[in-house]
């Protein structure tokens, strides 16, 4: 049923339908409305979960780690500085193979302090072993939570997942969102029943130490599980489509890619603005398309290479920067199509809440046409 | 040791980690000089020194990290640390 609702509240409702048994989170802008709504649901008896209030994000994810190891379905949400404070726990959760799902309402990282959107926070955790999904709109943000739990809890995968959606741009925007029924959610997402869990009657430790004789092999296994998740994501997306009609079976999604000479690659809500711009440019006779990255970890290199094989040039937009190098998406795309010889031009855009408009996308297409990349789009040179 | 998902382990699994590979210096026990006082066993932080039927003490090299505390504390200087070539 379609409902006009705030992005954060749509996500909270989807999380409720996933029936988490333990929720622990610490409020931080722009994630706050999600966890406020979940706290209300628990207090009102609409969600049968333990809501653990804690004094920091480090404790929130640590509480989630323990609850997940004890065999519960667990949920958290955070952003920016909060995610940064979870850094150590994030790596432990992945290494212990605990399928926690966490929403990231993407926000810039300080300093300078910024509460506004870019994707630096979750990108900084790209190496932590978590699955990372990026949503373009609130329908996708909502649906990706069911898929995230489905994939994360698969016994062959057992990895945590971040569902990332742009802070304010999506989290605080009212859009029509189709919510599935509890009955359908239960059908799609059966009860979490891990083979091994913390149990005083049958003691077990998680994340024991590994000597140099074993550490490399543990890292190999975690990396393999993340790469194996590709086929599991595709299957979970296909099944979701069968049940609910919306197709998330592909990790990348093309828009007007037929005969496109310039292909823009991007992640998140910016894709909507790009699609509108492409419609304008196509009407003017320019052959431009978009390749949206929905799954950043595991990175769908083969799918990207396949989708870009007919492009004359590629323009990658990054709402993040690996300082001293380039944007994270550009680095991955360059790696994926290295042997093709297709030029990749990279652009840093929309950091710290700088608005990205259609004129900015037009500028990127023009710059790529001239063969110019490695540019901060909209840089105000007068203040430098 | 076969790898368990998430490095999960039952109690006592620590024995599978053979810490002897950390060693640079190896303690060599001279039973001729040994007075069987057991100070080495008491002091060993790894708990890897055991006593045999005759009352002599020896380390388990699979776990001995080569810290040298036994050699330092031995009242008879019956334990010598020698560099180990691997």
For the cut 80, the answer to whether the pLDDT of residue B86 exceeds it is no
Dihedral sign (CA A164, A169, A172, A176): negative
Among the partner-chain residues B8, B17, B21, the one whose CB lies closest to the CB of A204 is B8
Determine the pLDDT at residue A146.
Answer: 98
Of A220, A244, A268, the one marking the end of a domain is A244
Answer whether A262's CB lies under 8 Å from A312's CB: yes
User: Do A86 and A201 sit in the same domain of this protein?
Assistant: yes
User: Do A165 and A190 sit in the same domain of this protein?
Assistant: yes
Higher pLDDT, residue A173 or B19: A173
Range of the domain at B55: 18-83
Determine the pLDDT at residue A181.
Answer: 97
- CATH code of the domain in which A198 resides: 3.40.50.970
Q: Which two tokens stand for residue A196?
A: 């091994």
User: Do A126 and A230 sit in the same domain of this protein?
Assistant: yes
- Mind listing the pLDDT tens digit for each residue in B45-55? 999 999 999 99
Residue B63 covered by a domain: yes
- Mind listing the pLDDT tens digit for each residue in A155-187? 999 999 999 999 999 999 999 999 999 999 999
Q: How far is CA B71 from CA A376, B58, B82, in A?
A: 64, 12, 11
- CATH code of the domain in which B64 resides: 3.30.70.20
- Mind listing the pLDDT tens digit for each residue in A19-42? 999 999 999 999 999 999 999 999
Among residues 84-123 of chain A, which lie with CB inside 8 Å of chain B?
95-98
Residue B37 covered by a domain: yes
- CATH code of the domain in which A336 resides: 3.40.50.920
User: Do A154 and A211 sit in the same domain of this protein?
Assistant: yes
CB contact under 8 A, B3 and A214: yes
- Mind listing the pLDDT tens digit for each residue in A96-136? 999 999 999 999 999 999 999 999 999 999 999 999 999 99
Residue B47 covered by a domain: yes
User: Do A196 and A77 sit in the same domain of this protein?
Assistant: yes
In this prediction, residues A64-70 reach a mean pLDDT of: 98
Angular region, A54: left φ>0, alpha ψ -120 to 50, beta rest: beta
Give CA–CA dist A321/A118, Å, rounded: 10
* Confidence tier at A210 by pLDDT (50, 70, 90): confident
Residue B10 covered by a domain: no
User: Do A312 and A206 sit in the same domain of this protein?
Assistant: no
User: Do A204 and A264 sit in the same domain of this protein?
Assistant: no
List, in sequence order, every residue forming a beta bridge with A205; answer none if it has no partner.
Answer: B9
User: Do A72 and A221 sit in the same domain of this protein?
Assistant: yes
CB contact under 8 A, B8 and A211: no
Among the partner-chain residues A196, A209, A212, the one whose CB lies closest to the CB of B8 is A196
Report the share of chain A in percent with pLDDT over 90. Answer: 98
Task: Identify the CA nearest to A119 among candidates A351, A367, A372.
Answer: A351
DSSP B37-64: --HHHHH-TT--EEE-TTS-EEE-TTT-
The Cα of B63 is separated from the nearest Cα of chain A by a number of Å equal to 12
For the cut 80, the answer to whether the pLDDT of residue A153 exceeds it is yes
Provide the domain count of chain B: 1
Give CA–CA dist A37/A7, Å, rounded: 12
- Mind listing the pLDDT tens digit for each residue in A256-285? 999 999 999 999 999 999 999 999 999 999
Residue B7 covered by a domain: no
Of A202, A226, A244, the one marking the end of a domain is A244
User: Do A16 and A53 sit in the same domain of this protein?
Assistant: yes
Among the partner-chain residues A203, A209, A218, the one whose CB lies closest to the CB of B11 is A203
Provide the domain count of chain A: 2
In this prediction, residues A295-312 reach a mean pLDDT of: 98
User: Do A260 and A344 sit in the same domain of this protein?
Assistant: yes
Residue B78 covered by a domain: yes
Residue B79 covered by a domain: yes
The Cα of A196 is separated from the nearest Cα of chain B by a number of Å equal to 9
User: Do A301 and A335 sit in the same domain of this protein?
Assistant: yes
Give CA–CA dist A84/A97, Å, rounded: 20
Q: What is the ipTM of this complex?
A: 0.74
Determine the pLDDT at residue B1.
Answer: 60
Range of the domain at A307: 252-383
Give CA–CA dist A189/A237, Å, rounded: 12
User: Do A103 and A55 sit in the same domain of this protein?
Assistant: yes
Residue B59 covered by a domain: yes
- Mind listing the pLDDT tens digit for each residue in B23-73? 999 999 999 999 999 999 999 999 999 999 999 999 999 999 999 999 999
List, in sequence order, every residue forming a beta bridge with B81; answer none if it has no partner.
Answer: B27
């Amino acid at each position: 049923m379609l409902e006009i609702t705030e992005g954060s509240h749509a996500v909270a409702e989807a999380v409720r339908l996933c029936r988490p048994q333990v929720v622990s989170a610490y409020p931080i802008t722009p994630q706050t409305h999600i966890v406020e709504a979940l706290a209300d649901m628990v207090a009102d008896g609409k969600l049968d979960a333990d809501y653990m209030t804690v004094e920091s994000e480090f404790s929130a994810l640590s509480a989630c780690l323990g609850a997940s190891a004890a065999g519960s379905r667990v949920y958290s949400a955070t952003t920016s500085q909060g995610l940064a404070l979870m850094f150590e726990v994030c790596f432990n959760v992945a290494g212990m193979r605990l399928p926690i799902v966490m929403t990231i309402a993407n926000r810039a990282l300080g300093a300078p302090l910024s509460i506004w959107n870019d994707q630096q926070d979750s990108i900084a955790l790209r190496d932590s072993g978590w699955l990372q999904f990026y949503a373009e709109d609130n329908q996708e943000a909502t649906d990706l939570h069911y898929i995230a739990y489905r994939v994360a809890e698969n016994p062959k995968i057992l990895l945590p997942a971040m569902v990332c959606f742009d802070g304010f741009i999506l989290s605080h925007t009212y859009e029509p969102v189709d919510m599935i029924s509890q009955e359908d959610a239960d059908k799609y997402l059966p009860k979490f029943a891990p083979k091994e869990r913390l149990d005083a009657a049958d003691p077990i430790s998680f994340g024991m130490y590994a000597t140099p004789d074993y550490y490399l092999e543990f890292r190999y296994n975690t990396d393999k599980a993340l790469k194996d998740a590709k086929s599991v994501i595709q299957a979970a997306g296909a099944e979701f489509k069968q049940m609910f009609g919306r197709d998330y079976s592909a990790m990348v999604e093309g828009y007007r890619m037929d005969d496109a000479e310039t292909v823009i690659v991007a992640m998140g809500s910016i894709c909507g603005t790009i699609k509108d711009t492409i419609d304008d440019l196509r009407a003017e006779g320019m052959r431009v398309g978009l390749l949206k990255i929905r799954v950043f970890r595991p990175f769908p290199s083969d799918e990207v290479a396949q989708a870009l094989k007919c492009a004359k040039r590629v323009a990658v937009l990054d709402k993040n920067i690996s300082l001293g190098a380039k944007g994270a998406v550009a680095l991955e795309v360059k790696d994926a199509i290295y042997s093709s010889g297709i030029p990749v031009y990279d652009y840093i855009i929309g950091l710290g809440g700088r608005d990205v408009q259609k004129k900015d996308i037009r500028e990127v297409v023009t710059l790529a046409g001239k063969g110019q990349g490695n540019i901060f789009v909209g840089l105000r040179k007068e203040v430098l | 040791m076969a790898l368990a998902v998430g490095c999960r382990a039952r109690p006592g699994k620590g024995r599978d980690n053979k810490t002897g590979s950390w060693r640079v210096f190896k303690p060599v026990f001279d039973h001729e000089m040994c007075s069987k006082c057991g100070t080495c066993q008491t002091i060993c932080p790894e708990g890897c020194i055991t006593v045999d039927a005759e009352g002599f003490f020896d380390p388990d090299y699979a776990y001995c990290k080569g810290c040298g505390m036994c050699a330092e504390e031995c009242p008879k200087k019956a334990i010598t640390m020698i560099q180990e070539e691997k």
